[in-house]
Structure 1
Amino acid sequence: MSTILTENGVRKMDEGDPLATYRDQFYLPKDVVYLDGNSLGAAPKAAFDELETAAKTEWADQLIRSWRGADWWVLGEKLGNQLAELIGAGPDQVTVCDTTSINIYKALHAALSLRPDRSVILTEAEGFPTDSYIAEGVQSVRDRTELRLEDLDEDTIEDYLDETVAVVLINHIDYRSASVRNMKAITEKIHAAGAIAVWDLCHSAGIYPVDLEAANADFAAGCTYKYLNGGPGSPAFIYAAKRHHGSFSQPLSGWWGHVEPFAFEPNYTGDTGIRRLLCGTQPILSMRALKASLDMYDTVDMAAVRKKSQSLTSLFIDLVDQECDGLGVTVISPRDADARGSQVSLAHGNGAAIVHALTERGVIGGFREPNVMRFGFAPLYLTHHDVWLSVAHLKEVLETEAWREDRFNAAGKIS
């Protein structure tokens, strides 16, 4: 950074923003700068209309007829096809269902079923914990299955791949640092070793132009309540490459995944398509809230989202460098915008208290142990001026050491 950034100069960065009109499509509390969309996205206004229609008309008036009349029965696949456009998947390869953890459980079992002569699940030692927890659960119910936790990246992954590895589970964007992995290069290395690639897209979907088909990924899963703004607990999604349809098995063999669910046969025969990854009845109301956001995304240019994301996060880093130098914070996210997702993480020994102090001032971020302050930047509803305001508050909290107040240090955990 060679020039001094000013508030007026930052305001000019918002002029001509092609995404500016989307901000008004969200409920945003007054005097709040919301930098936690990487944990829970803001509420689209249209979600409440969707919920009202689903509850008052389709449920209350139409009752069970809405399973067919309102397309509830195929809603997961319809949403999956909308979402597929955002993650580079072809039609009928994505469905919305269940939770990320459940979908990873299914994907790992599916991958193992495709490599019956291999026994090892390889995943990250420092990835988001649900991935390794679920992998442990898969290991616990399978004979002769081994779990290996390693430091996986493009430069290291080949060190851990051998003829025993059946499946590799890896995050596309790291939840702590926001480092972006080269999906295509890593998948090629996994395939060269004869293994199956399962990608966790929780911090990618809706914010980064993922291309699963170009990367030749096998399976992927992710949540919809972060950058996709589906609402708290909104259902997750799962992807299975078309080449694997009809070939894999997964243990949650509920009736929704049956090839003829209304035949009510005594034995299970899995569907030959993406529905094989379904289990039971899905949360229709939550899905309808998600539909509002995906309908919005149908009109969004993901290249513009990525460009603005890089601009917002780069500005945040530049302002932290300019305004907070010598105040004890360290940028731990990549400084190269191409290597960074839509989050900037700062390290500070009292990070939790600082985030609490910022929240009281209306700047809402997040914290992850042991010392990581996470600030997520959602281009559909944030401005460059929001970034200026957030760093101004951060500087004041650090300079005054307001975070030392007892109430900030006694506050509970932050999601």
Structure 2
Amino acid sequence: MTDFAWTRDQFHLPEGVIYLDGNSLGPMPKATPARVQQVMEPEWRDQLIGGWVGAGWHLAPERLGDRIAAMIGAEAGHVVVGDTLSIKIYQALAAALALRPDRRVILSDTGNFPSDLYMAQGLAHTLGNGTRLKTVAPEDVAEHITDEVAVLMLTEVDYRTGRRHDMKVLTAKAHEVGAITVWDLAHSFGALPVDLAGCGADFAAGCTYKYINAGPGAPAFIYVAPEHAGRACTALQGWQGHDAPFAFEQDYRPATEVVRMRVGTPPVLQLAALEAALDIWEQVDMNDIRARSIELCERFIAGVEESCPQLRLASPRDAAQRGSQVSFHFEEGYAAMQALIARGVIGDFRAPDIMRFGFTPLYIGPEDVDRAVEILAEIINWDLWDRPEYKVKAIIT
């Protein structure tokens, strides 16, 4: 049974802040500074370059990959950490397309995170062989999975609305027509139970700075199913993915299995922050996290709809079809969110009119939900958002 009082105590949370933006950047675990400091001194300070072996830096991407694999229902030895999520999506997509050389269509949906779509567009342009990206409405994906599709590329949970795709059903449908699947877990990992092997996923990638709380810019990870790992195309042939990186050969030879998906030198300090975060996650049960998440989201929806009828629910009403976030449409959503933040309730805004709230049970409880609803109601019902300073768009929203 997960002890949510214990998990809350593991995080640094500024006094007076209700943090409902962990689906964008998680707060800092209290153990992180000490773990990062350990890498700097004594490891880096005393071992210098010897830390790559003596402190285990070089193998951290595989070691942490195995810890993540256990959290996402993946086979050990088939997840590796490093680089950014966009790069990992690019790698997975390129490898998936190479497995279906006679097909040219990448199928995704209009709710997918734009960076994933940009990666697909860029790769299609680079290939120059007629490969194209096709996007359809999220609810229409299943009917467009046909035998012309090479790759089905989807984010399991929509970043704006929290709408959840059925990974198992859509993967099975893709396999029925011979397509390969690439799943983006950015808003799934740490938010709900994921079972990649059980769903038969081919490739998946995710980030660690949202629900996992590994810090800004924390590295991504990639999963390659066992049946593809030994032959997956390595579109980005970085030296860390070479079978013998320190032989410094002139020609590329991919490493065996998922290690071939390593690209550049791993970010050791950031990996240390990830390690500290995973120490917390290994003390919780994802089923408990999911149950508490649903409870908090339902409580928030009920409270907002009762007290703020001006807001319209943008997320699915059925909890089974929703991730761990709740979004509402409001014409003045940007200004309202700035007013909320000014009063200590931190969520975020997504164009054109979506107020987005993330619920992370590790550090958010029912009392936080009730207080956030109360403050939101005051702002909406008294038009407290209607001030010039709240309407000035920042670079990051």
Query: Same-fold call, TM > 0.5?
Result: yes
Residues 17 and 93 from structure 1, CA distance in 2 versus in 1: closer, same or farther, beyond 3 angstroms? closer
CA-based RMSD of the aligned residues comes to 1.3
1:332 aligns with 2:314: yes
Letter in 1 for 2:284: V
Q: CA deviation at 1:152?
A: 5.2
Instruction: Say which of 291, 307, 328 aligns to 1:307.
Output: 291
Amino acid at match of 1:281: T
* Contact 1:367-1:414 at 8 Å conserved across structures: no
Pick from 60, 78, 82 the counterpart of residue 97 of structure 1.
Answer: 82
Q: For 1:281-320, list aligned pairs within 5 A.
A: 281-320=265-304
Trace 1:145-224 onto structure 2 (pairs within 5 A). 145-151=130-136, 153=138, 156-224=140-208
Task: Check whether the contact 1:342–1:378 (CA below 8 A) recurs between aligned residues.
Answer: yes
**2:230 maps to what in 1?**
246
> Which residue type is aligned with residue 359 of structure 2?
F
Q: Distance in 2 between matches of 1:304 and 1:372?
A: 28
Match of 2:340 in 1: 358
Counterparts of 2:315 and 2:105, CA distance in 1: 31
Asked if the contact 2:181–2:203 (Cα under 8 Å) also holds between the matched residues in 1, the reply is yes
In the alignment, is the contact (CA less than 8 A) between 2:188 and 2:323 conserved in 1?
A: yes
Alignment check: 8 A CA contact 1:19 1:305 kept: no
Q: Quote the residue 1:57 is aligned against.
A: 42
- Kept after mapping to 2: 8 A contact 1:112/1:167: yes
Check the 8 A contact 1:125/1:149 in 2, yes or no.
Answer: no
Provide closer, same or farther for how the CA distance between residues 17 and 281 of structure 1 changes in structure 2, counting only shifts above 3 A: closer
The answer as to whether partners of 2:2 and 2:283 remain within 8 angstroms in 1 is no
Distance in 2 between the 1:319 and 1:281 partners? 48
SS in 2 for 1:73: coil
Equivalent position amino acid for 1:319 in 2: G
Give every structure 1 segment of 4 or more consecutive aligned residues whose post-TM-superposition deviation is greater than 4 Å: none
Distance 1:229 1:303 in 2: 19
What's the % identity of the aligned pairs?
46
Q: Deviations over 1:214-240 (max 9, x none)?
A: 000000011110000010000011100
Q: Quote the residue 2:261 is aligned against.
A: 277
Output the CA distance in 1 between the equivalents of 2:2 and 2:195.
25
- Partners of 1:32 and 1:207 lie apart in 2 by 21
**Residues 81-160 of structure 1 mapped to structure 2, 5 A cutoff:** 81-151=66-136, 153=138, 156-160=140-144
Q: Distance in 1 between matches of 2:128 and 2:352?
A: 35
2:353 is the alignment partner of 1:368: no
Please, which of 367, 380, 386 is the counterpart of residue 398 of structure 1?
A: 380
What residue is the counterpart of 1:344 in the other structure? 326
Q: Encode CA deviations 1:380-414: one digit per residue, 9 max, x unaligned.
A: 00111000110100000011101111110124144
CA distance in 2, matches of 1:82, 1:413: 35
| Aligned residue among 375, 390, 395 for 1:408 | 390
- Tell me if the contact between 1:172 and 1:181 (Cα under 8 Å) persists in the aligned partners: yes
Cα distance in structure 1, aligned partners of 2:270 and 2:124: 31
1:386 to 357, 368, 379: 368
SS of equivalent to 2:367: helix
* Mapped partners of 2:351, 2:142: distance in 1: 29
Letter in 2 for 1:210: V
- Give the AA of the match of 1:43: M
Q: Structure 2 length as normaliser, TM-score? A: 0.97
TM-score, structure 1 as length reference: 0.93
Q: Label 1:286 to 1:21 Cα distance change in 2 as closer, same or farther (>3 A).
A: same
**How many residues are treated as equivalent by the alignment?**
397
Q: Report the 3-state secondary structure (helix = DSSP H, G, I; strand = E; otherwise coil) of the residue aligned with 1:27.
A: coil
Cα distance per residue 1:172-202 (max 9 Å; x no partner)? 0111111111100000011111110000100
- After TM superposition, give the deviation of residue 299 of structure 1 in Å: 1.1
Residue from 205, 228, 242 that aligns with 1:258: 242
SS in 2 for 1:144: coil
CA distance in 2 between counterparts of 1:122 and 1:321 reads 35
Quote the Cα distance in structure 1 between the aligned partners of 2:137 and 2:71.
25
Deviation larger for 113-122 or 348-357: 113-122
Instruction: Give the deviation of 1:248 after TM superposition.
Output: 1.6
> Are the counterparts in 1 of residues 237 and 263 from structure 2 also a CA contact under 8 Å?
yes
Counterpart contact for 1:23–1:382, Cα < 8 Å? yes
CA shift for structure 1 position 86? 1.4
